[in-house]
Amino acid sequence: MRVYPIKCRICLKRSHYFIFPTMTDKKQEYYKGQIFAVLTYLDTIITSDWSCHDTEFKKATSINRLAEIANMSKRNLQIMFQAYLHESIGSYKNRLRLEYAQQLFKDNHLTISEISDTIGFANQPAFNNTFKKHYGTTPAQKRKMLLEKQFEHFSSSHTPTYRKENLKEIQVIYLPFIGNYEQTTTSQFEEYSWNRLEDFALKYDLITHNTEYWGIAFDDTDITEDNKCRFYAALTITSLNNIRLPITNEIKTMTLPVGEYAVFTYQGDYNNLNHFYDAVLQSVDFKIGNTPILEKYLNSPTSSQKEEPRIEIWFPVESNSNH
């Protein structure tokens, strides 16, 4: 089973603005960390390769399994999940699975039948029926539309240069958010995410002069509604040592996906970052791998600073891809 196998062409229209959910009820706030744990788990599970294992997919994403991960009763999990995301667990899983299918449509490497197997459907007719019921169109029609739209983005004649890097294990603490991508460069987002991560790292002596800011955005705005896009704001740390994060803590930890990356550097206004992604995707001479595209912020991850942002964009390279 592959981990994070989604090819997150996350910023084809990388409008950076995040509206993170607000929860005024104290009980809901208390459960937020547990809901984040479930979301992180589903981010991995939904985009794993479930070919020939559709029954295992149902077991891995069952309410029993999710309640176990969240350390909550099934009823409380269902209530709090609905309160936080404004959709049921079943609807959320189904939507993510169908959106991942559309990512695979745009990659254009697999047949619709193969995609149906990959995302855990028993057969293609079952996938077709579910897809048409959700979107009012067939998978084949949707694939054609997405591919046509993708080419509309490719208008830049500039060919960005890149270098190859092997990313070793880097441990990060992160805060997951769901909402519109455009808010991730605001001072409000900086206070709610990056500052909280820094405060946590300083409290436990996890920060060094080499600490880095990274971002992972999982969704393509051609596919996912703006207010439902997923993003991780991440900060590198030395080591958690003996620190154990309780399940109720909103801050989580993970290791960035290791492997070979093609690293492009962007400097300029955040509003023009979309066009840079378009130029890269139009000109790449390698096959993009199946882990997320990463962003590494070289100065400030927000636009609240006077300095012009500099961002490294790390595209995973498939292992058998040749330059």
pLDDT value, residue 28? 59
pLDDT value, residue 214? 95
Classify residue 205: in a domain, yes or no. yes
Q: What are phi and psi of 17, to 5 degrees?
A: -155, 125
Residue that terminates a domain, selected from 153, 171, 194: 153
pLDDT value, residue 77? 95
pTM of the model: 0.80
pLDDT value, residue 261? 96
| CA-to-CA dists, residue 284 to 40, 128, 197, 222, 322, angstroms | 30, 32, 34, 20, 11
User: What one-character DSSP code corresponds to residue 54?
Assistant: H
- Domain hosting residue 216, numbered range: 163-316
Residue that terminates a domain, selected from 153, 173, 205: 153
Over residues 151-161, mean pLDDT: 64
Confidence of residue 4 (pLDDT cuts 50, 70, 90): very low
Residues 149 and 237 in one domain: no
Residue that terminates a domain, selected from 153, 187, 202: 153
Cα distance between residue 308 and residue 310, in whole Å: 7
Residue-wise pLDDT tens digits, 64-106: 999 999 999 999 999 999 998 999 999 999 999 999 999 889 8
Confidence of residue 109 (pLDDT cuts 50, 70, 90): confident
Count of domains for the chain: 2
Residues 305 and 189 in one domain: yes
Confidence of residue 63 (pLDDT cuts 50, 70, 90): very high
pLDDT value, residue 87? 94
Residues 144 and 42 in one domain: yes
Query: Do the strands 213-217 and 230-236 form a parallel or antiparallel pair, or are they unpaired?
Result: antiparallel
Residues 88 and 187 in one domain: no
Classify residue 323: in a domain, yes or no. no
Residue-wise pLDDT tens digits, 235-291: 999 877 777 888 889 999 999 999 999 999 998 877 777 678 767 877 778 877 777
Q: CATH number, domain at 69?
A: 1.10.10.60
Q: What are phi and psi of 171, to 5 degrees?
A: -90, 135
| CA-to-CA dists, residue 200 to 173, 206, 207, 243, angstroms | 9, 8, 9, 12
Cα distance between residue 308 and residue 90, in whole Å: 42
Contact in structure between 8 and 257 (CB atoms under 8 Å)? no
- The rounded percent of the chain whose pLDDT value lies above 70 is 81
pLDDT value, residue 215? 92
Cα distance between residue 273 and residue 256, in whole Å: 22
| CA-to-CA dists, residue 298 to 71, 131, 210, 237, 264, angstroms | 37, 41, 11, 16, 12
Residues 215 and 79 in one domain: no
Classify residue 2: in a domain, yes or no. no
